[in-house]
């Protein structure tokens, strides 16, 4: 299958995350997502690749009903992935492995079409405003996201994972992850996947996200059930699986965040003492 490979040796040193830990955090985020049944993070593992050890994550293909060039598709020039199928090839199949990986048609839409910047006072129905700001030309704008249960699952995951960098561009509309039973079994609209989880699961509070629209609101039953699954998994084998990837303090902090969310059953408010939104937001 197509994958994204991030070698440890290519990680840029950061002042607030220990060097050489980002790949492990990517894998830990995938384990947490799967244990809760969210299906947010594509399957991610550690592998020793051509540039040394690193994280390897399943490539996010766009949903099969993603918009394509209708004229080209009608003429048989491109398939649902935006590429030209070979003679006799199933147009609905995934592109073959030898295809180039940087074809823009293979990626979901950054922000999944569910996060946007709109004129102030113009948050559309079915969306939630996050914060007011100034646009590049000094115009008043509002960062907003859709009031969508798929995004809410991402937001709850981010709280649990203490995600320090949930940009809109880290959200992709994709297909269910066949390697993740929870994701593969989920019906309905195409899933929203989160990527780039190197800056997660720190022991200190670092949550920065564009998904603050549910702040202070009660958690629905579906998310409380996911948190219960995660707590049960932590008491089982999940903590042992996380120990090679995180410090003991970071694992304890994860357990504390899960317990706190279940106890309060509400989404947290943005902190007042530091930035609550990553920059840039996309």
pLDDT in tens, 218-264: 999 999 999 999 999 999 999 999 999 999 999 999 999 999 999 99
Q: Give the residue carrying structure tokens 């823009």.
A: 104
User: Residues of 199-213 as b/e, b for ≥16 C-beta within 10 angstroms?
Assistant: bbbbbeebbbbbbbb
pLDDT at 99: 39
Rounded-to-integer distance, Cα 29 and Cα 58, Å: 13
User: Residues of 7-39 as b/e, b for ≥16 C-beta within 10 angstroms?
Assistant: bbeebeeeeebeeebbbbbbbbbbbbbbbbbbb
Report pLDDT digits (tens) over 72-105. Answer: 334 333 333 333 344 444 444 444 443 333 344 4
Our CA angle for 103, 3, 145, nearest 5°, is 70
Spans of all domains in the chain: 3-62+107-264
Report pLDDT digits (tens) over 100-127. Answer: 333 444 444 557 789 999 999 999 999 9
Rounded-to-integer distance, Cα 84 and Cα 66, Å: 16
């Amino acid at each position: 299958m197509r994958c994204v490979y991030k070698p440890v040796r290519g990680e840029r040193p950061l002042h607030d995350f220990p060097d050489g830990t980002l790949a492990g955090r990517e894998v830990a985020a995938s384990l947490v997502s799967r244990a809760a049944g969210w299906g947010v993070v594509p399957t991610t593992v550690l592998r020793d690749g051509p540039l040394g050890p690193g994280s390897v994550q399943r490539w996010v293909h766009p949903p099969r009903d993603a918009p394509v060039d209708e004229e080209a598709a009608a003429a048989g020039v491109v398939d649902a992935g935006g590429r030209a199928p070979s003679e006799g090839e199933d147009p609905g199949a995934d592109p073959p492995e030898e295809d180039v990986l940087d074809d823009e048609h293979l990626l979901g839409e950054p922000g999944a079409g569910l996060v946007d910047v709109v004129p102030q006072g113009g948050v559309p129905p079915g969306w939630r405003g996050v914060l007011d700001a100034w646009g590049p030309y000094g115009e008043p704008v509002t960062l907003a996201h859709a009031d969508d249960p798929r995004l809410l699952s991402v937001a709850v995951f981010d709280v649990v994972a203490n995600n320090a960098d949930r940009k809109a561009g880290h959200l992709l509309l994709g297909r269910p992850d066949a390697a993740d039973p929870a994701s593969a079994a989920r019906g309905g609209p195409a899933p929203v996947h989160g990527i780039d989880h190197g800056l997660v699961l720190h022991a200190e509070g670092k949550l920065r996200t564009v998904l603050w629209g549910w702040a202070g609101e009660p958690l629905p039953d579906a998310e409380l059930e996911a948190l219960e699954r995660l707590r049960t998994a932590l008491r089982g084998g999940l903590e042992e699986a996380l120990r090679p990837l995180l410090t003991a303090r970071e694992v304890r902090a994860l357990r504390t965040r899960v317990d706190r969310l279940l106890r309060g059953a509400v989404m947290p408010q943005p902190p007042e003492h530091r930035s609550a939104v990553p920059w840039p937001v996309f």
